[in-house]
Chain A
Amino acid sequence: MTVERPTGTPVTSAGDQTRIHNIGYRTYDGPRLGRAYARRSLYSQSLRGAYGLGRSGRSKVLPMLLFAVMCLVAAILVAVTVTTKAKGLPVHYTRYAIIMQGLISLYVASQAPQSVSRDLRFKTVPLYFSRPIETADYVRAKYASLASAIFILTAAPLLVLYVGALLAKLDFADQTKGFAEGLVSVALLSLLFAGIGLVIAAVTPRRGFGIAAVIAVLVISYGAVSTLEAIADTQSSTGAIPWIGLFSPVTLIDGVQTAFLGATSSAPGAAGPGSGQGVVYVLVVLGLIAGAYGLLLRRYKKVGL
């Protein structure tokens, strides 16, 4: 660059036309932290955004409310345990997210579109890609931030349960094992739900459509699967139940934790998959997560500039 820059010197010819005040332009010679830093910044901005932080007051209401309810229910369970001096928590760690799945689905449906549909709708995406970050950085940051947000939503109540259980002087080793299993389970659930939510939300720039579509996929699939499972149960074809469970996200997670994380299945008659079928469950979950990531990459290759 051959042009000499008037560093720090006041501009003498401030035209009134452009309303620029006579403050002089300062150049920036500080560090430029590059791609990895930009990706981290996008991650933290999106994670904060998923709880409405740094956004308008109105957008904080729903995520904060859901978070409060998630923790409040856990706190009530702890209170019951302490007052009744029970020997165990009324709800197992791995079961908690399954019971609260309606709230979790609602959270995903509301926050996945706000994370990606806004950028599409207001065409902010080209601004990102005119900077050092690339498609994969954007997708990874968005995916990781939503998965983390769901993890915070689902792991916080488990922490409440765990701390409560220790205060109630329940068996330490038992509780710690259960807590760890619960954390693994909700981590998997967070990745799966985030992937499904983002793929659906990234298709439409309309937030309303995104919310409806995510709700539909998560809730209707669960409703359909549990109905079919119930029918299979009354027809006493219990063997079919684990296979039906493969078709909804919630029952998938339930199946994985039944097979490997010491949970009891929430399917009718507790007819969860054995470890052989469990492998299929794990493969399907991992396949869905990888598939969601791949679809997002493909989607953003197209919407570039």
Chain B
Amino acid sequence: MIATESLSKRFPRVTALDRLSVDVGPGVTGLVGANGAGKSTLIKILLGLSPATEGRAEVLGLDVATKGAAIRERVGYMPEHDCLPPDVSATEFVVHMARMSGLPPTAARERTADTLRHVGLYEERYRPIGGYSTGMKQRVKLAQALVHDPQLVFLDEPTNGLDPVGRDEMLGLIRRIHTDFGISVLVTSHLLGELERTCDHVVVVDGGKLLRSSSTTDFTQTTTTLAVEVTDSDEHPDGTGAVRDALHARGVRTEDGSGLPGAGHVLLLTAQGEETYDLVRDVIADLGLGLVRMEQRRHHIAEVFRDDGASTPASTSPSTSPSAPRNDDGQRKEAAGHDG
């Protein structure tokens, strides 16, 4: 879908992209980086709107330097900022944008009706956009990027400004763009956590350099960490300690969840399969303790990026805690890993 080769973009005072080489295949790809990491600059170059200082890039097999117009006909773009005039209705606006993409009038109207329904706008689409909520505006922005049925869409920070529910809906929608519509997606975000749930592949850039490019399934689903919290009883004043000892006796290694909320009362262990859940349940029942919670803690991409394999994800899992001390490299991405 996208291939760049030592792509650089230098402005008089800053280097926005520094010899970036990355290959992006079909599917949903997340482009992660802090603000100013070069995400928007990359999108501009990929749309053929801004020439690269050096290196080359191809989108859908077309060179961005020479085939910009052909690329823009086949890709969609949803900008990060507001871009909607308040005094027209969503329908009128999206029809106009469809025609700007080259769709004949009738097709533009049909595709607009379809697309707005797909993104979840119904009766309100005939009302002026000025009265829409942020979530509805994001849907209109998404609709204008999809209305001409592109092969690839660039979504720049689509979850910006949305509440948690709106964020989840938008992420679900993004997933659907690929699975149901068959359109590949390049989505940027500064939140790693939300992209790990949505993307097939994640590209991390920092300071215009490629930090890592890999598939999300590679490192988030190999093992599952369980967090277990129990009550204390008269018989076992330190319930957590009792469970830990009992589990150790059965050969299950645990970590203490220092850094997690309720530190000292949380045990972390690696689930090998269904048996582990049963074992934990039985151990706690035998001790006559109450189970406060037992939950899966998915590994966050941030943990994987923290250091290259020196420690296993399980041993570094309390990484979402803001108070946990970490090394320089981890610190930078920790903010990004912070989930919603």
Interface of A toward B, CB cutoff 8 Å: 1-6, 11, 15, 17-21, 23-28, 30-35, 37-38, 41-42, 45, 54-56, 59, 118-119, 122-124, 126-134, 304-305
Chain A hits for B297, CB < 8 A: none
Pair B69/A4 contact, Cβ less than 8 Å: no
> In the assembly, what is the distance between CA of A304 and CA of B40, in Å?
13
Known: A5-B181, A131-B100. 7 other contacts (CB 8 A): A17-B172, A19-B120, A25-B182, A33-B102, A35-B102, A122-B83, A305-B40
Contact with A along B118-148 (1 / 0, CB 8 A): 1010000000100000000000000010001
Q: Give the total number of A-B pairs whose CB atoms are below 8 A apart.
A: 145
Given the known A-B contacts A6-B182, A25-B181, A130-B49, are A1 and B151 also in contact in the complex, defined by CB atoms under 8 Å? Answer: yes
Interface membership of B103, Cβ < 8 A: yes
| B73–A34 touching, CB < 8 Å | yes
For B304, what are the chain A residues with a Cβ–Cβ distance below 8 Å? none
The answer to whether B83 touches A123 (Cβ under 8 A) is yes
Interface contact A305-B86, CB-CB below 8 Å: no
Given contacts A28-B111, A32-B148, A305-B47, contact A131 B72 (CB under 8 A): yes
Chain B residue, CB-CB nearest to A25: B181
- Chain B residue at minimum C-beta to C-beta distance from A40: B99
Chain B residues with CB below 8 A from A123, complex form: 79, 81-83
Q: Does B340 contact A (CB under 8 A)?
A: no
Q: Is B259 on the interface with A (CB-CB < 8 A)?
A: no
A17 to B118, alpha carbons, bound, how many Å? 13
21 interchain pairs (CB within 8 A)? A2-B26, A3-B26, A3-B178, A3-B184, A15-B172, A20-B118, A23-B117, A25-B180, A34-B73, A35-B102, A38-B101, A42-B100, A59-B87, A123-B79, A123-B83, A126-B77, A127-B97, A130-B76, A132-B102, A133-B100, A305-B79
Asked whether A41 lies within 8 Å of B87 as measured between CB atoms, the reply is no
Q: Scan residues 10-58 of chain B and give those whose CB is less than 8 A from a CB of chain A.
A: 26-27, 40, 44, 47, 49-50
Q: A41-B99, A42-B100 are in contact. Are A132 and B117 (CB under 8 A)?
A: no
CA distance A56 to B129 in the complex (A): 12
B290 on the A face (CB < 8 A): no
Chain A residues contacting B87 (CB-CB under 8 Å) are 55-56, 59
Q: Which residues B86-114 have CB closer than 8 A to chain A?
A: 86-88, 92, 96-97, 99-104, 107, 111, 114
B173 close to A (CB within 8 Å) = yes
Which of B1, B83, B92, B97 has the most chain A CB atoms inside 10 A of its CB?
B83
B contact residues vs A (CB 8 Å cutoff): 1, 26-27, 40, 44, 47, 49-50, 60, 69, 72-73, 76-77, 79, 81-88, 92, 96-97, 99-104, 107, 111, 114, 117-118, 120, 128, 144, 148-149, 151, 168-169, 172-173, 176, 178, 180-182, 184
CA of A130 to CA of B87, assembled, Å: 22
Is B117 a contact of A33 with CB atoms below 8 Å? no
Q: Once bound together, how far apart are the Cα atoms of A54 and B69, in whole Å?
A: 28
- Asked if residues B49 and A28 are in contact (CB atoms below 8 Å), the reply is no
Please determine whether B69 and A305 come into contact, CB atoms closer than 8 angstroms. no
Known: A17-B169, A26-B114, A304-B49. A126 touches B83 (CB 8 A): yes
A160 smallest CB distance to B (angstroms) = 32
Q: Which residues of B contact A124 (CB under 8 A)?
A: 83-85
Nearest residue, chain A, Cβ from B101: A131
A123 to chain B, nearest CB (A): 5
Decide if B102 touches A32 in the complex (CB within 8 Å): yes
> In the complex, what residues of A have CB within 8 A of residue B101's CB?
32, 38, 131-132
Q: Which residues in B have their C-beta under 8 angstroms from that of A56?
A: 87, 128
Among candidates B73, B81, B172, residue contacting A32 with C-beta atoms closer than 8 Å: B73
A17 to B102, CA, bound (A): 33
Contacts of A59 in B (CB 8 A): 87
Q: Is the CB of B104 within 8 A of A30?
A: yes
Shortest CB-to-CB span from A19 to chain B, Å, is 4
Contact of B72 among A42, A55, A118, A130 (CB under 8 A): A130
